[in-house]
Structure 1
Amino acid sequence: MNVPSRARCVLRFRSPDQPGILAGLTPLLTENGWDIREATIYGDPDTATFFTRMELASDRAKIADLPRQIAPAVAALQLDWEVHDIAEPMPVLIAVSKFNHCLVDLLHKVEIGALPIRIVSVVSNHEQERSRVEWHGIPYHHLPVDRTDKAAQERRFLEIIEESGAELTVLARYMQILSDNFAERLDGRCINIHHSFLPSFKGAKPYHQAKTRGVKLIGATAHYVTADLDEGPIIEQDVRRVTHATTADEMVAIGREVEASVLSRAVRWHAEHRILGNGNQTVVLI
């Protein structure tokens, strides 16, 4: 006997904050055969906006029917909503330069099932990670940067993203400044890891900047890429304590572990559709 596959999806939305939002939506879901497996909410008092993420499952309802089923609540409650099928892992492209710790961490976590993603391609301006990536059966694209025609390299980069079907691009210590056009094309679909606790120490060599300032905490920041360098909405951050005796090189070594863990959390939350924009900030529903 053929057993019908179980539909699994994430419904997330924002709406004007008001009483009765969940009370108006959940009966429609229940009546149409949806089981709410997880729900996280946040009401922002500053913007008077209500944010919701629900993980739904059903043996008899179809994801394609969900828009019609919740239409009365969408109209009555002014829901700005999205639905995402989570039956398959999200296709992700990774870009890397010479520092490979974030790439290695992502490869390992995918291999052990700790990340709900599928790495479909790796792009690099260097050749050194080719053998590692291809050992995992992943296409590797070497895109050296020609300083006289950087736009050509970016055009090919964007073509690879489209050809691979990647829904998210991850800059895993990809040490190139992207053009405004590139950033705009990937708005909300590109995550960068910056090796400092933003907004402090933007740009190059942040650990050396931190050493010069005598900081006692260093960190890493995962954020969405925008046209403004290191100014995109912050997703996740973490820190480690250092002392006056910690050298800049030691800070770099300490920072590698922080960068890898911060980036993998940000990638997982994006792949699980837990991140919603809220002006120049993010709401992460975990």
Structure 2
Amino acid sequence: MNIWLTHFVLSSLISVAHPIAALANGASFGSVAPDTVPQPRSSKAVISFVSPPTLFPIEGFAFKTAYRPLPVYDRPGGSSVGELTMTNANCAGVEDSPACHQVGPWVLQFTNGTQYSVEVGEYGYSAYGLVSYSQSTLGPNGLWSEISSEMGPLWVLTPAEAVIPYESLVHVVDNFDRWCDQPGSCTPVQQDMRAEVRRVAEGQYKLLSCYLHAYEVTGMTTADRATYYRVNLAEVEPGSGVPHLPRSGFVPTRNLNGSHTGTFYSRGC
């Protein structure tokens, strides 16, 4: 999806043993963020990360509440087909043990004992969650979320607070195809603007930010059933040249092809 930042190139779809570090619109990024590991290569856009604290430790080291597997269902309100479990569950509560310096991986274990991989992403520093490409739906005891696995789509039921929307994590806009002076008043990104944004990404301006993105997200707004990021031009170092770009404006949260316009870095700079 991203066609103009090239410092990192993502590899193939993650295996169960390697959670995704979210620099995260599923594409290749230019970044100074360290310790980057692959994102999903699905053509679909990530909608949310599903991270119940009973299954995923906080910052990769400690559980806020007692660990327990998460039941998995064939459909919302349907039959349980197995559970999501951490393969080194014996490390829950003893994360400081030398043998438990890394938790996970997480697997889908069916009732007959067979195990399959699931997509897991990093949405905060060493904070992981199941990757969902669909909007969660309200159930009587929480939210139903569809997750991806080797066995196809399956569903989990979690408290609402365990579902972290992708767009709530975004702090910079990346590859965007429309620019809006006001929500709903948008035009295609012109070639000169695209070229200047590329120059920022290539490091031709000395930004105060440690990210190589022209625009930072300062908020979100909705108009005419569409959602927009409110963005400001990144500040530059004193005495440095300033990109020839609008100081502020709005960018739709999705491109016309459905891809994300915004991204985030789970581990910061």
Structure (1/2) with the larger helix percentage: 1
TM-score normalised to structure 1 length? 0.24
Larger RCO (CA within 8 A; separation ≥ 6): 2
Q: Which protein shows a greater Rg?
A: 1
Superposition TM-score, scaled by structure 2 size: 0.25
